[in-house]
């Protein structure tokens, strides 16, 4: 459905012309025009003709969400450090600009030099969530690239999917040329090298030969080289290569020694307001806590820590360059870093007397302590604190392997309150396997006790907590990949009961905020997360019917997805419930079984059985190996400290120097 009238050519353009002269007159007519302007501190614009390989990188959401994305920023910097390679960024345009671009013939463009995306060699799209799939189709179509990979020619860029959702790219297999599983730093360098060599040879064999060279690496998945056969009941019979020189399984990439990859060195400083405005440093990658719902923890194994000295150097360099006033120490479980105490105290000492504050993302209840609380609040600025018990009852926390007792939570939150915090956020999920109404109602009891204990410990009534509820979505490569989803009306019923229970005691309920996501978006996310190639037709129908920005509640339409599924799926002998509320059995071929995250499928199945038996699994960082399969399969190992070193440099920073233009 190529709506843009872009002339088709058989070879790549010699140079990309800026669309800015056509775009600029449209910007006064749209909301937040500054998000399309570019020119941020940290942005890179290189000469088109000086580059051999050219990447357009996209986070398929609005600028305010996409710009802070750590993955895209890292790849942008890694690629632009290569002298013969150019990387620029593009984001999803809001519907108001999309309409004007279609009317005036302006194609999808990069914000760096406003070059047409179609002129690049590679179009890399990083998905954190499957709800960005309709935005992918908008970007491809606006770019003048054929929607279907099968219809593309040598004139079109190779569309490459990455990010966590790429661990099951089957729902978008018709629309992407390739997918990369796992860490991107070394993967994009390898892909760049393959494209460079292919172009130097005169592009032999055209697009098909280039894709074949990528597939032969065994770490780039090219869907067109695999056929899917189905059984009469709709299940998959097998997924097999349709060429002899293509691997049966595609393996994820794992970047070891994070100290050798200290990115981002020059973080992008946004011009428009964004969801995160801070210098974020990833202090370790991977997690072995074993939360059974958590795809990120499962697919990023093993744990690889960045050393305390590298973190210190990255923070110093990143703050001096950007002028940010907040440092986010990021990972899936930051307080588990073997040197987190020394790291926080060292940074707090180094930036004492400045306006720099430290923050941790969602913090494990059992890893937060008084010392950490004091260091995080040293400079007087207390960033938000979020704790994630995930399940309301002790029983359900055993099911999901998130063992935190109610006493642990109360003790931890009281520690925060007595160290000056007046507001904490507690995150839970609804719709978990084996969950009952009573499991959810225990969230209200927990929240009430948090307020009571906080008031008692501080002698103040100025204590608040926010209960935030997300819907459970079973994800590929987790023990819950076989689980049935709960129907939206059941989720919504439990959320209503919970709200009533929280407000049953008015004195306590007044101090408790309540935020939740209803069950409908979760069900659609479940369709997309565990879907196969047949779901691509649903995505396309939703997009043709106006679906955009499905991750935003004000743009999401549940009915549009339900209607599209009802129109498209019966022809395949399946329906929406078949993909979502149906439990899978042990022997079913799952759509992603040919994509190797390193996790042994038998181990995942056993952990699913352990969940149903309410059996807890320990963390292999501190206990013997549980044979999940990752380390031997990926030829990797856990890399953790402590290094025994202190944060360097130790000299305090007085009046932090900011780069010109960074003090906005």
Q: What does the chain come to in residues?
A: 664
Record the tokens describing residue 82, joined without a space: 């290569």
pLDDT in tens, 128-152: 899 999 999 999 999 999 999 999 9
Quick one: pLDDT at residue 10? 37
81-95, 114-128, 272-286, 381-395: least confidently modelled range: 381-395
pLDDT in tens, 220-240: 999 999 999 999 999 999 999
* The pLDDT of residue 292 is above 60: yes
* 2 pLDDT tier (thresholds 50, 70, 90): very low
What value does the mean pLDDT take over residues 62-90? 97
**Which residue did the predictor score with more confidence, 545 or 370?**
545
Quick one: pLDDT at residue 380? 62
* The pLDDT of residue 99 is above 60: yes
* Cα(185)–Cα(78) distance, integer angstroms: 7
Strand ranges, E, within 92-177:
122-126, 158-162
Query: Residue 607: in which H helix or E strand, if any?
Result: helix 601-612
* The pLDDT of residue 3 is above 70: no
Q: How far is CA 601 from CA 121, 220, 227, in A?
A: 36, 21, 21
Work out the number of other CB atoms within 10 angstroms of the CB of residue 384. 12
Determine how β-strand 423-430 pairs with β-strand 385-390: parallel
Handedness of CA 189, 125, 303, 341 (dihedral sign): positive
Question: What does the mean pLDDT of the chain come to?
Answer: 92
* The pLDDT of residue 365 is above 90: no
300-304, 374-378, 492-496, 601-605: least confidently modelled range: 374-378
* The pLDDT of residue 14 is above 90: no
Percent of the chain surpassing pLDDT 70: 94
* Cα(320)–Cα(343) distance, integer angstroms: 19
Work out the number of other CB atoms within 10 angstroms of the CB of residue 660. 7
Quick one: pLDDT at residue 145? 98
In the block, residue with structure tokens 């409908």: 520
* 420 pLDDT tier (thresholds 50, 70, 90): confident
Contact indicator for 315, 649 with CB cutoff of 8 Å: no
b (16+ CB within 10 A) / e for 166-189: bbbbbbbbbbbbbbbbbbbbbbbb
* Cα(513)–Cα(204) distance, integer angstroms: 61
**Which residue did the predictor score with more confidence, 306 or 380?**
306
Quick one: pLDDT at residue 649? 52
* The pLDDT of residue 52 is above 50: yes
Quick one: pLDDT at residue 8? 34
Percent of the chain surpassing pLDDT 90: 78
Record the tokens describing residue 505, joined without a space: 């005691």
Three-class DSSP category at 142:
helix
pLDDT in tens, 612-661: 999 998 888 878 888 898 998 888 888 988 888 877 554 555 544 433 33
Contact indicator for 468, 428 with CB cutoff of 8 Å: yes
pLDDT in tens, 639-648: 988 888 877 5
383-387, 432-436, 509-513, 524-528: least confidently modelled range: 383-387
DSSP state letter for 503: T
Which residues are registered as beta bridge partners of 357?
326
In the block, residue with structure tokens 């190992």: 637
Quick one: pLDDT at residue 657? 42
* Cα(622)–Cα(630) distance, integer angstroms: 16
Quick one: pLDDT at residue 355? 87
Residue 657: exposure state from Cβ atoms within 10 A (0-12, 13-18, ≥19): exposed
What value does the mean pLDDT take over residues 96-101? 98
* Cα(352)–Cα(581) distance, integer angstroms: 53
405 φ, ψ (degrees, to nearest 5): -85, 160
Determine how β-strand 250-251 pairs with β-strand 595-596: parallel
Q: How far is CA 378 from CA 265, 269, 347, 349, 381, in A?
A: 25, 25, 10, 8, 8
Quick one: pLDDT at residue 648? 57
* The pLDDT of residue 13 is above 70: no
* Cα(152)–Cα(58) distance, integer angstroms: 19
How far out from the chain centre does Cα 555 lie? 20
Contact indicator for 428, 391 with CB cutoff of 8 Å: yes
* The pLDDT of residue 1 is above 60: no
């Amino acid at each position: 459905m190529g709506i843009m009238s872009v002339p088709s050519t058989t070879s790549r353009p010699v140079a990309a012309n800026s669309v800015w002269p056509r775009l600029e007159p449209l910007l006064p007519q749209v909301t937040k025009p500054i998000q399309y302007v570019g020119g941020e501190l940290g942005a890179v614009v290189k000469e088109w003709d000086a580059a051999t390989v050219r990447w357009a990188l996209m986070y398929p959401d609005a600028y305010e969400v996409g710009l802070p994305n750590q993955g895209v920023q890292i790849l942008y910097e890694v690629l632009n450090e290569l002298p013969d390679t150019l990387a620029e960024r593009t984001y999803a345009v809001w519907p108001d600009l999309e309409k004007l671009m279609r009317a005036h013939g302006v194609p999808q463009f990069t914000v760096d030099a406003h070059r047409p995306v179609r002129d690049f060699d590679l179009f890399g799209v990083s998905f954190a969530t499957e709800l960005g799939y309709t935005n992918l189709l908008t970007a491809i179509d606006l770019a003048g690239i054929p929607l279907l990979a099968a219809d593309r020619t040598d004139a079109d860029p190779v569309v490459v999917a990455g990010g966590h959702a790429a661990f099951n790219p089957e729902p978008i297999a018709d629309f992407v040329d390739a997918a990369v599983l796992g860490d991107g730093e070394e993967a994009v360098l390898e892909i760049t090298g393959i494209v460079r060599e292919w172009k130097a040879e005169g592009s032999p064999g055209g697009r098909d030969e280039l894709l074949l060279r990528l597939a032969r690496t065994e770490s780039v998945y090219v869907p067109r080289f695999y056929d899917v056969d189905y059984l009469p009941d709709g299940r998959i019979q097998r997924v097999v290569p349709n060429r002899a020189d293509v691997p049966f399984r595609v393996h994820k990439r794992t970047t070891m020694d994070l100290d050798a990859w200290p990115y981002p060195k020059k973080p992008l400083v946004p011009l428009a307001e964004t969801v995160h405005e801070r210098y974020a440093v990833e202090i370790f990658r991977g997690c072995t806590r074993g939360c059974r719902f958590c795809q990120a923890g499962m697919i990023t194994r093993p744990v690889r820590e960045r050393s305390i000295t590298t973190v210190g150097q990255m923070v110093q360099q990143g703050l001096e360059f950007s002028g940010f006033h907040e440092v986010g120490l990021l990972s899936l479980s930051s307080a588990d870093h073997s040197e987190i105490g020394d790291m926080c105290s060292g940074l707090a000492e180094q930036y004492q007397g400045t306006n720099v504050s430290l923050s941790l993302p969602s913090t494990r209840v059992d890893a937060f302590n008084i010392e950490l609380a004091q260091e995080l609040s040293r400079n007087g600025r207390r960033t938000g604190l979020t704790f994630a018990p995930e399940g309301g009852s002790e029983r359900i926390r055993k099911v999901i392997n998130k063992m935190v007792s109610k006493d642990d939570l109360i003790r931890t939150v009281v520690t925060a309150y007595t160290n000056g915090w007046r507001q904490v956020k507690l995150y839970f999920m609804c719709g978990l396997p084996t969950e009952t109404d009573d499991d959810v109602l225990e969230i209200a009891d927990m929240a009430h006790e948090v307020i009571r204990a906080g008031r008692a410990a501080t002698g103040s009534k100025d204590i608040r907590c926010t209960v935030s509820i997300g819907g459970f979505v079973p994800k590929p490569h987790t023990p819950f990949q076989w689980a049935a989803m709960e129907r939206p009306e059941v989720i919504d019923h439990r959320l209503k009961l919970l709200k009533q229970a929280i407000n049953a005691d008015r004195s306590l309920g007044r101090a408790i905020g309540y935020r939740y996501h209803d069950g409908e978006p979760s069900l659609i996310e479940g369709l997309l997360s565990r879907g196969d190639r047949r779901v691509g037709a649903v995505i396309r129908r939703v997009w043709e019917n106006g679906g955009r920005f499905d991750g935003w509640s004000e743009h999401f339409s549940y009915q549009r997805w339900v209607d599209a599924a009802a129109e498209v799926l019966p022809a395949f002998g399946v329906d929406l419930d078949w993909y979502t509320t149906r439990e899978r059995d042990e022997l079913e071929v799952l759509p992603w079984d040919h994509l190797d995250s390193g996790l042994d499928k038998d181990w995942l199945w056993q952990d699913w059985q352990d969940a149903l038996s309410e059996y807890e699994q320990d963390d292999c960082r501190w206990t013997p190996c549980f044979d999940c399969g990752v380390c031997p399969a990926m030829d990797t190992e856990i890399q953790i400290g402590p290094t025994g070193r202190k944060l360097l440099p130790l000299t305090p920073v007085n009046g932090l120097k900011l780069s010109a233009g960074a003090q906005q």
